[in-house]
A and B are shown apart, each in its own frame.
Chain A
């Protein structure tokens, strides 16, 4: 390797960079973070994002190992490549963090979200909502004569699409869990 021929550059996170950061291209990454499930751990992670001005598009957390008291946090974030690299390093250096994985670069992965979608409708619209629900393989978990609650799982795009279709049919409320994700294969 001829080290002297390597390309130079600089990150754009510094206030001393007078270039417009909006010019640079942004990427969305899904990170999974394994942490000790101790008091305040979520506040630490969220505080890191707000304190350093990083974006959180979605965040989910639950204990995944009850004996070892470990929780898994899935974060979807957007930033320039340099910022994404910083986010990972900043997470890694936190004391309760075991590991940080970037599913977006580490090979194929599955992302799922669960949504509960309430639609108030009668007549034609009720039939149409029901039919759309079937197409999306949504379950009806509650119904009255004037309403449905659909339960739907899938990637964020699928849920976005379903919600968009429900708007003209009488959408009143949406509750989403945020993304849970895992790598494919062994």
Chain B
């Protein structure tokens, strides 16, 4: 469809032409013309959230679980500012979302008009790029460009701010194929000399480790497939960051578990002692490196990343390869095969023997109890009772998030949605909505802490309205558990404001929303209660009352190296020194 239309019509047409089937939004004065157009069509489904932050996280959940960008539509002023946290979250975790905001009419901009905010100014640092469209003739092209920027190179959030007069005025619509996408076209093919150098180092590796991350998910299913092929062909051990879980299956023979601050003993020791580190789409985050001057001191480091600014940011690497993982791994495997598929297999076998010793430490073990539900046990039972199902997990932020990462096994990418970089409490509930909208028949569970869950619990209304059978599995320790743990280790057990007082009765709360509530506080009843949750065809709030003062281990204290990991409660007193205490 070409020719003249109103700006509001263009918005809807551009979304259709971009293949959008769902928009998460909330109306207001400055977007009424667009809502009017949405009302008059049936191709795009609009999900009415209860808070604009919810819309952004729902769009993130949609995007992360499908590989397609998520779309948000909100009004000017407070609608836009409420969306800021979600955009920052998406920026940190490289999630493609397109946020469309209404703005006061162009002739009122700068006048402190009703519900005016400098949206492009406020969101400049929390978007990959943003645009204020002042001319209806430029609107369609700008929206197409926004989709291009959000989904090419390192994905991220973008925002298009559309004044109300631009929505009313008519102009010429430009279809995606005819729209200029500008000059933003990041390189996807890796430099073949660098790839060859990486292969050469791989062939010589005696103590290799593959450190994979969220970039593998970003790159798409082919990248995960190639990663699996590389691991099985070389027999190298593989670990992943929080963001990359599922790219290599947790049931795979070479899986070391997650690495980093709350990663496994074997993963972190392998990172520390390796002589060859192949980093695939991870960004050497401080949760991973610990103290950087003690990070993996003996290894040759290869880093594959599409964003040159991720390379050498925290850790100096020896062989940087800028490109898309799918493309680079394909070339890397081809070069390695052409050179005769060489590895130092005997040395690697010895290295595996060493790794098995570390594995034997069983760093995820915990002391179970007959009388109270241990949070780890709750996650283990959840895993056991949902394994093999078409399952998607979202989380909130805190200890429960780490236990979920440790005790749930992910067999495929796009099945694990969590706020890693920003660590946004309140992410998981709306994210589960976005995931369920995208996968109506799948099992979608939000593993939550009670404190985080309260931050966006209004979205239960959305779940009920749209009959989204999301399961809210609240690991309720009546504490801001992760904060409490740090206060125990760092601040002399002075638990300043780190408990959840006056909690709602979650069962009654569920009923008030028109959902089902389940309470369980006895380990003996847990399996039946979880089964009841799974069998219920509709949204559930599951109040899993757990041990209040459980700590999450293993843990590498701030400012320490991988080989200074804490394994359990015995060794925690004074574990974080003054230098580490200033860190986060």
Contacts and interface: CB of A to CB of B under 8 A. Distances in A.
A95 B314 contact: no
Interface residues of A, number: 34
B284 to A, nearest CB: 8
Main secondary structure of the interface of A (DSSP, over half): loop
A144 interface: no
B313 A11 contact: yes
Contact of B309 (A1, A18, A89): A89
Interface in B550-582: 558-559, 579
Interface string A14-34: 111111000000000000000
A16 B292 contact: yes
Most chain B Cβ neighbours within 10 Å, of A1, A14, A15, A90: A14
B214 interface: no
Nearest to B579: A18
Contacts of A1: 197, 200
Contact of B289 (A2, A14, A89, A92): A14
Interface size class of B (residues with CB under 8 A): 35 or more
Interface string B291-333: 1110101111100000111011111101100000000000000
Given A4-B201, A95-B149, A14 B309 contact: no
B153 interface: yes
A4 B318 CA distance: 9
A3 B316 contact: no
Contacts of A123: none
Interface in B17-73: none
B312 A86 contact: yes
Contacts of A9: 316
Contact of A10 (B198, B295, B559): B295
A3 B200 contact: yes
B200 A18 contact: no
Contacts of A93: 153-154, 186, 307-309
Contacts, number: 102
Contact of B293 (A17, A36, A85, A94): A17
A14 B558 CA distance: 12
A140 to B, nearest CB: 41
Contacts of B275: 4
B367 interface: no
B492 interface: no
Contacts of B388: none
B313 A13 contact: yes
Most chain B Cβ neighbours within 10 Å, of A6, A19, A36, A43: A6
A136 interface: no
Contact of A47 (B125, B149, B318): B125
B497 to A, nearest CB: 24
A11 B290 CA distance: 14
B363 interface: no
Contacts of B129: 94-96
A11 B183 contact: no
A82 interface: yes
B132 interface: yes
Nearest to B154: A93
Contacts of B153: 93
A3 B124 contact: no
A18 B293 contact: yes
Interface string B119-134: 0110011001100100
Nearest to B128: A95
Interface string A37-59: 00110011001000100000000
B229 interface: no
Contacts of B558: 16
Contacts of B301: 8
B292 A17 contact: yes
Contacts of B204: 2-4
A15 B313 CA distance: 12
Most chain B Cβ neighbours within 10 Å, of A10, A43, A89, A93: A10
B338 interface: no
B558 to A, nearest CB: 8
24 contacts: A1-B197, A3-B198, A3-B300, A4-B201, A4-B300, A8-B299, A8-B318, A9-B316, A10-B292, A10-B295, A11-B292, A15-B286, A16-B286, A16-B290, A16-B558, A16-B559, A17-B291, A40-B124, A86-B309, A93-B153, A93-B308, A95-B149, A96-B129, A98-B183
Interface of B: 120-121, 124-125, 128-129, 132, 149, 153-154, 182-184, 186, 197-198, 200-201, 204, 275-276, 286, 289-293, 295, 297-301, 307-309, 311-316, 318-319, 558-559, 579, 583-584
The 8 closest A-B pairs by CB, nearest first: A3-B201, A89-B309, A95-B129, A9-B316, A89-B308, A6-B318, A14-B314, A16-B286
Given A1-B197, A39-B132, 13 more contacts: A1-B200, A8-B318, A10-B315, A11-B312, A11-B314, A16-B291, A18-B579, A19-B293, A47-B124, A47-B125, A89-B309, A90-B309, A95-B182
